[in-house]
Structure 1
Amino acid sequence: MRWWSAANLVSNAGTWMQLTVQNLLVLQITGSAAATGLSLSVQAAPGLLMSLAGGAAVDRWPRRLTAAVSQALLGAVAFTTAVLVALDQLNVGVLMALAAVTGLIATVDGPACSLLGNDLVPPEDVPSAIGVGSLVHSAGRLIGAALAGITVGALGTAAAYAANGLSFLFVTAVIPFLRPAPGALPARAPAPAQGSAPHEDDLGMREGLRYFARSPRLLALAGVTGISAVFGRNYGLTLAVLVTGPLAGGAGAFGTVSTVLAVGGILGAVLGARLRRPSVRLVGTLAAAGGLLQVVAGVSPSLAMLLVLVLPMAVVESISDTAGTTVLQTDPPARLRGRVLGVWGSVRTGWGLAGPPALGLLMEYAGARGALVAGGLLIAGSVLAGHLLHRRRAHPAPALPVLLPEAPAIPAAPLTATVPAPRPAPAAETRQPVGAAA
């Protein structure tokens, strides 16, 4: 697990470095912010359409091999981009195609790497392993964003893509040496015996979708996470407008806010790693708390006050994410977890594509402060309404007694009982001597 965490830290840093450089590269080639957003949408689109198929592949194929191949393919895409940039042969069309290929590979790589990390620890330590993964993700994001500017300034854009390719190869080289922990769940469902009918769970992608749709816990988790993702977690958009607008700060001030958000994410991941049995109720409570903090942040009068609020906002968000991921990866049976993660990948991609436009439209009408306040109240109110609805279904009100019209009184029967007539004495029995044949 230590080797896997170190490899993931390197890979996450490389990925965030490439994402940062990719935005700058698209701006350099096209000079259009819309094209930058389009490149991100093109990379996310396969997750909306193909995540369920990717999750089914993870359930059917050996997990270590699947993760190693997907990481190697992502490295090949990064190296190809680096060569094209170095030769000045990269145009918008090729860049969009490479982004789409990256998104397609990620539909398999995401669930494979997530579940592979869980295989390296005993089942009771899976929540801690997920917390460590969140910590590695937050730290890698912070490191990668910082390294992007240094690498581009010193070595150029192609070097950043090449460094990301090397990070994928490092993960690929580590995977063959990983061994599942004693007591860990099997990496994939056992194949049915020859000549026997396949189990209904081996039918394919529909089983993951059916399980997700029939699980009230996962549906509630999807609702809480979805409304939080759309109205509460696009801080790169809402806080940027708030800092540079009403609070009259500059790019440096927003950089400070972003750093505090990253630090809060790391602290939250450390605290989330201590959770043993998180629940959907905990996720909802944390989401509501984050929404209320967001309301206060929306009316903060100064940048200093905003910085004080941003840290607990990021901590609460990180713990909530860790708790939700633990529920998502431990509730389904082992043979369906890849497919359930595939369903989740499609839903999460839908939020990612719909959230920024919806939030931008809200800011057009209500401004940055109004969007933060309205979004936070909507999150807290939705969580409270869901809790009350669940409580009402779990504890329905007792039925009122039905009052029937009083029936006429029936006279009591006399206390004398009718004694039946004695039966006549039976005829003399014919007895056989002892030992006679029956």
Structure 2
Amino acid sequence: MSQTFSSLANPNYRTWFLGGLVSNVGGWMARTAQAWLVLVVLTDGNAQALGYQTALIFLPGLLLSPVAGTVADRFNKRHILLASSTLGMLSALVLSTLTITGHVRLWHVFTLSLVDGLAMAFDNPARQAFVSEVVPFEHLPNAISLNSASFNAARLLGPGIGGALIAWVGTGWVIAANVVAFATMITALLSMDAALLHPAKPTSGKGGGFVAGLKYVRRRPDLMALLTVGLAVGGLGFNYNISNAVMATEAFHRGAGDYGIIGSFMGIGALVAALWSARRGSPRLRHVLMGMVGYCVFNLASALSGNFWLFVLLQIPVGFFTITALVTGNSLLQTATTPQMRGRVMALWGLTIMGMAPMISPLVGWIGDRFGPRSTILFGVIAVSIMFALLTATIMRHDRIRVRLDWHKRAPWMRIERLISQDVSEVRR
């Protein structure tokens, strides 16, 4: 088997991967349907209502991440995933029934979004850390990248299928498909051979819990830098659930099918990024920084685009650079963390990526209503640009590196220097 798909040689990981792929497709279909339900069916293009709905999904993660990370380190991760998947399945069943029968109201969507968020709060750190128990450590970066490939293959397929099915059979039945997707994930978890897993030794109740995780990260500047990347790209910049919806409906006046196409084209770039990450082996910080720069450049171009199909095509590099930054950051974080701390550190990663949503999503929705749909994209561009500048300056200062412009050189007129004691030595990178 090629290096790109090497982890699939592991029977347990293969089961996990296939179950996750089906679950992710159903999840993306449901996200598309819920956004359409809030933005079009239950309101008249109210971006702020969509922002509130998104915020409610991520609010439990903000409040419960300290507890969820500790739980992931102290209890059986597979059992946690079974419980969270079951709760998500029941929530999808209730919302789809209300929608199909015509009884759904906005407060129903908000309440069930909060339930979904509760399941996600415990699911995310356990799911992130569980991968290291399914494959040997040397295959961990590849398995993480393939997980992302699964998620982004679903992003490629799910919104397009969801948008088409909304127009064909209605929003409720698309949400109902997510019930089947959750059931598939539960079946995959139950089918895994427990004897072939590599569980980390659970931490005791005397390990300091989440506080110990914070102290561990504070002693590790490398981990703090990676969490900053998650905050920038995932927490402040990943607002596509809102920006794509309002760009489709308000800027370009398109329907459900075209809205789904936007997410699918973004999924193409994201899938390529994840597979590239799986193939290249060892993750590097330069790939993270490259992803942040690409995010800013191509999101700015898409915000300024006046043509719908140009906007759609630009989602390919947008997806590529966004996922390059996040997947590489995730891989670096997990491989640099001890197994006993991995659940708590990944809870922090989830907190930086999703914990900001309860504050950022309503703000982005308000900005969209106040300044127009393109401003929802520009918000992320400005935020990630500022965070990139701060992160780069911190890395250069910490590593005693500086950049000088030398107009006597040939292009690009840039010299990178590393300071060693009182001497300056030039390095090529």
CA deviation vs aligned residue, 1:376-418 (integer Å, no higher than 9, x gap): 7535533432332222289666369xxxxxxxxxxxxxxxxxx
Partner residue, 1:398: 421
- For the pair 1:2 / 2:14, whether they are aligned, the reply is yes
1:55-66 pair list within 5 angstroms: 55-66=69-80
Q: 2:345 aligns with which of 340, 347, 356?
A: 340
Describe the shift of the 1:352–1:129 C-alpha distance in structure 2 as closer, same or farther (beyond 3 A).
same
- Cα contact 2:52–2:358 (8 A) shared by 1: no
Q: CA 1:40 to 1:104, structure 2 compared with 1: closer, same or farther past 3 Å?
A: same
Structure 1 residue aligned with 2:254: 251
Looking at structure 2, the residues matched to 254 and 158 of structure 1 have their Cα atoms a distance apart, in angstroms, of 17
**Using a 3 Å threshold, how does the CA distance of structure 1 residues 90 and 207 change in structure 2: closer, same or farther?**
same
Pairwise mapping of residues 114-263 of structure 1 onto structure 2 (< 5 A)?
114-179=128-193, 185-189=198-202, 201=207, 203-229=208-234, 232-234=237-239, 251=254, 258-263=263-268
- Structure 1 residues 3-402: aligned runs within 5 Å: 3-26=15-38, 27-31=40-44, 33=46, 34-179=48-193, 185-189=198-202, 201=207, 203-229=208-234, 232-234=237-239, 251=254, 258-294=263-299, 310-356=315-361, 357=363, 361=367, 364=371, 374=382, 377-378=385-386, 380-392=388-400, 398=421
Number of residue equivalences: 389
AA aligned to 2:96 is A
Separation of aligned partners in 2, 1:270 and 1:319: 10
Q: Does the Cα contact within 8 Å between 1:78 and 1:162 map onto a contact in 2?
A: yes
CA distance in 2, matches of 1:301, 1:10: 35
The alignment yields a C-alpha RMSD, in angstroms, of 3.7
Distance change (3 Å), C-alpha of 1:314 and 1:40:
closer
For structure 1, the residue ranges without an aligned partner over 5 or more in a row are 192-197, 401-438
Larger radius of gyration: 1
1:233 Cα deviation after fit: 4.5
Structure with greater proportional helix content: 2
The 3 A distance-change label for structure 1 pair 348 and 159 is: same
Question: Partner residue of 1:195?
Answer: none
Aligned to 1:412: none
- Percent of matched pairs sharing the same residue: 26
Alignment-mate amino acid for residue 254 of structure 2? A
CA offset at residue 333 of structure 1?
1.2
Contact 2:72 2:343 in 1 (8 A): yes
Name the residue aligned to 1:194. none
Q: Provide, for residues 250-279 of structure 1, a one-character-per-residue CA deviation record: whole Å limited to 9, x for no partner.
A: 538876654432211111111011243214
Instruction: Give the letter for the 2:62 counterpart.
Output: L
The residue type paired with residue 136 of structure 1 is S
Give 1:56 deviation, angstroms. 1.2
Farther off after superposition, 127-136 or 85-94: 85-94
* Counterpart code for 2:202: A
Q: Secondary structure at the match of 2:135?
A: coil
Q: What is the TM-score of this pair, normalised by structure 2? A: 0.77
Structure 2 spans left out of the alignment, 5+ residues: 1-12, 403-417, 424-429
Measured in 2, the distance between the counterparts of 1:244 and 1:150 equals 16
* TM-score under structure 1 length normalisation: 0.75
Deviations 1:10-50 (A, max 9, x none): 11111122222222333423546233322221121101101
Which residue does 1:404 correspond to in 2?
Answer: none
Q: CA deviation at 1:238?
A: 6.1
**What SS does the aligned partner of 2:400 have?**
helix
1:204–1:389 CA distance, 2 compared to 1 (3 A): same
CA distances 1:70-121 after superposition (whole Å, capped 9, x unpaired)? 2122112212223333444433333322221111111111222222233222
